[in-house]
Amino acid sequence: MAKFKIHLLVCGGTGCRASESEALFHNLKATISEKGLENEVQVITTGCFGFCEKGPIVKVMPDNTFYTQVTPADAIEIIEEHVIKGRKVQRLLYENPETKEKVVDSKKMGFYRKQLRIALRNCGFIDPENIDEYIGRDGYMALGKCLTELTPEQVIEIMKKSGLRGRGGGGFPAGLKWEITRASKADQKYVVCNADEGDPGAFMDRSILEGDPHSVIEAMAICGYCIDASKGLVYIRAEYPLAIERLKTAIKQAREYGLLGENVLGTGFSFDIELRYGAGAFVCGEETALIHSMEGLRGEPTVKPPFPSVSGYLGKPTNVNNVETFANVPVIINRGAEWFASIGTEKSRGTKVFALAGKINNVGLIEVPMGITLREVIYEIGGGIKDGKEFKAVQTGGPSGGCLTQRHLDTPIDYDNLIAAGSMMGSGGMIVMDEDDCMVSIAKFYLDFTVEESCGRCAPCRIGNKRLIEILEKICKGEGTMDDLDNLRNLSQVIKDTSLCGLGQTSPNPVLSTMENFYEEYIAHVMDKKCPSGQCKSLLQYIIDAENCVGCTACARNCPVNAIIGERKGVHVIDQAVCIKCGACMEKCKFNAVFIK
């Protein structure tokens, strides 16, 4: 194998690929061969670096140079300046937004300093399509250790001691789940990896599968050994073509190396993995629904018990874990339960991956120890709120979660604290909102999602959520009454108490938590018929200030519905009956004459 002096790591995650990182990769390769540097410089495509805000990312090793927003045209300069002359390309370096200084070493970036990457340990570091690179980072060592040195009971004991809880949202102890599935007697059992990441705004499972697919394969095999299963299935969203491709490549390579298939590593243990595709149904993240979908049925949940650990896929005992949960397993085996349990809080051990998005400067994928505060995540890692606006809320847990506010900023993040604060961990979506976001509209947005995704099997979820959204629509139109607010609260409680599965039992959470934390906004919509954030169109009017209007006609010319009347050099007026409140006039006015009432 050639020994390279310099490695160029190009992000090949979905976000960066959307900004031409593939063309960049080819340009770098071409320039290197043009200069005859093939034996000294290596370019590889890696998984996601997490810093999606500034993609495409190129990292140069070994000196940790971190180039951001690199275009295909920058390839020549990187090779000529950095690689050949040893001078970093200053204009592409990440700039500290506060000090305006260029950061020459990525370890010193605020975004990475507070992170601890366990599940994401290989993402952005290795070539996910090359099994040797995974093995070079202790890959498949944990599987070897389990098969040759440990009994299944001992492995389960390690998992239980580590305190690892399910990262898909439920937070059920992973070791305990394995133990229960092991105890179920059957001729065939299954290991299922839940990669049906449907929570809008969360993309950690996809990034792990794109950036480090072998970690999941290795963990599934370890789980198979523990519960006595010879078959594994990955249920993955069809919307993730790149993750599917990389996973297929990884499975094929693992088979070629004798790490999957008959008689793994010559130990007599057999295990293989197949893929099953989702088809766009959020409820399939629920494990019983997921199992029905794998059987070729409508993905409707059924009552538990029986739990899948007892009767799951094709009626056989089935152990379902999420991608991120699996990604933690090999490290726990290699480094020990005590090490893992020393990270995090008492009841939530280890780290959690969050997808940070919304009105925040550093959008991206982060992994932090449990117990970190929201303030650290939003201000230190996330770099604060976009455009210097005021922080209003952060939504965690997706459509099943709730909104946390200013007063929760110093609460340590773990499973139990988030539930106590009226939200939940969920799969790890974290959407930051600022002063311009209307919380009633946000509640409506999530409800809209739930209504669309409700499978319709049970009445509280199918009918109840529909009624909830009708009330919210009424409030946003300025037709709400105080009785509606009572109805919202009561109906939410009934839906939570009586729905069949997790989807319905949590769907009113966005409504309840916004009512709890932002009740004054609901009151403003209902009593004053005003939307304080100026988002609800029915409740606002665009008005032209007669004093500032110079009659330039820019607004009238740009109005798509000709709602603005006025002579040249005369004051203009908006006909409220015609106005569709698109805001074009306000955008085009150079004299600040248009305002919102």
3-state class (DSSP) for residue 360: strand
HEC string of 130-154 equals: CHHHHHHCCCCHHHHHHHHHCCHHH
431 binds another protein (CB under 8 A): yes
Identified binder of another protein from the candidate list 398, 464, 480, 504, rule CB under 8 A: 398
Q: Which of residues 264-283 bind another protein (CB under 8 A)?
A: 276-282
Is residue 433 involved in binding another protein (CB under 8 A)?
A: yes
52 is an interface residue for another protein by CB under 8 A: yes
Single-letter amino acid code for the residue at 98: E
For another protein, give the closer residue by CB, 127 or 434: 434
Query: Considering the rule CB under 8 A, would residue 14 count as an interface residue with another protein?
Result: yes
- Regarding 324 and contact with another protein (CB under 8 A), the answer is no
Assess 296 for contact with another protein (CB under 8 A).
Answer: yes
* Residue 358 interacting with another protein (CB under 8 A): yes
Contact between 172 and 274 under an 8 Å Cβ cutoff? The reply is: no
Distance CA 372, CA 170 (A): 20
CB of 243 to another protein, least distance (A): 9
532 binds another protein (CB under 8 A): no
Q: Kind of pairing, strands 429-434 and 564-565?
A: unpaired
Judged by CB under 8 A, does residue 357 bind another protein? yes
- Give just the sign of the alpha carbon dihedral 324, 326, 329, 330: negative
Is 435 a binding residue for another protein by CB under 8 A? The answer is: no
Stretch that binds another protein, among 156-164, 294-302, 420-428, 518-526 (CB under 8 A): 294-302
Any contact of residue 203 with another protein (CB under 8 A)? yes
**Contact call for residues 203 and 355 (beta carbons, < 8 A):** yes
Residues of this chain, 173-202, that bind another protein according to CB under 8 A: 198-202
Tokens of 507: 């769907």
Taking the CA atoms of 323, 327, 332 and 333 in sequence, report the sign of the dihedral they define. positive
Give the E-state strand segments of 360-469 in sequence order: 364-369, 391-396, 402-405, 429-434
Binding test (CB under 8 A) with another protein, winner from 223, 247, 355, 594: 355
Peptide bond into 399 cis (omega under 30): no
Segment near another protein (CB under 8 A); pick from 76-84, 184-192, 426-434, 562-570: 426-434
Q: How far is the CB of 198 from another protein (least distance, A)?
A: 7
Q: Hey, what are 307's tokens? A: 């739990």
Q: From CA 279, how far away is CA 277, in angstroms rounded?
A: 6
Q: Point out which span in 174-182, 247-255, 290-298, 473-481 binds another protein (CB under 8 A).
A: 290-298
Closest CA to 199 of 242, 238, 169: 169
- Shortest distance, position 14 Cβ to another protein, whole Å: 5
Question: Rounded CA gap, 130 and 481, in Å?
Answer: 61
Per CB under 8 A, which of residues 443..462 are in contact with another protein?
A: 445-446, 449, 455
In the complex, the smallest distance separating the C-beta of residue 239 from another protein, rounded to whole angstroms, is 7
Residues 173-189 as b/e (b if ≥16 CB within 10 A, e otherwise) read bbbebbbbbbebebeeb
User: Where does this chain touch another protein (CB under 8 A) — which range of 12-20, 165-173, 180-188, 567-575?
Assistant: 12-20
Kindly give, in sequence order, each residue whose CB lies less than 8 Å from that of residue 596, ignoring residues fewer than 6 positions away.
534, 540, 541, 542, 543, 586
Binding footprint of another protein, residue count (CB under 8 A):
53
* Residues in contact with another protein, shown as a per-residue x/- string from 105 to 144 under the rule CB under 8 A: ----------------------------------------
Please tell me whether residue 560 binds another protein under the rule CB under 8 A. yes
Judge contact between 123 and 212, C-beta under 8 A: yes
Residues that bind another protein (CB under 8 A): 14-15, 17-19, 52-55, 198-203, 206-207, 238-240, 276-282, 293, 295-299, 314, 355, 357-359, 363-364, 395, 398, 429, 431, 433, 437, 442, 445-446, 449, 455, 560, 582
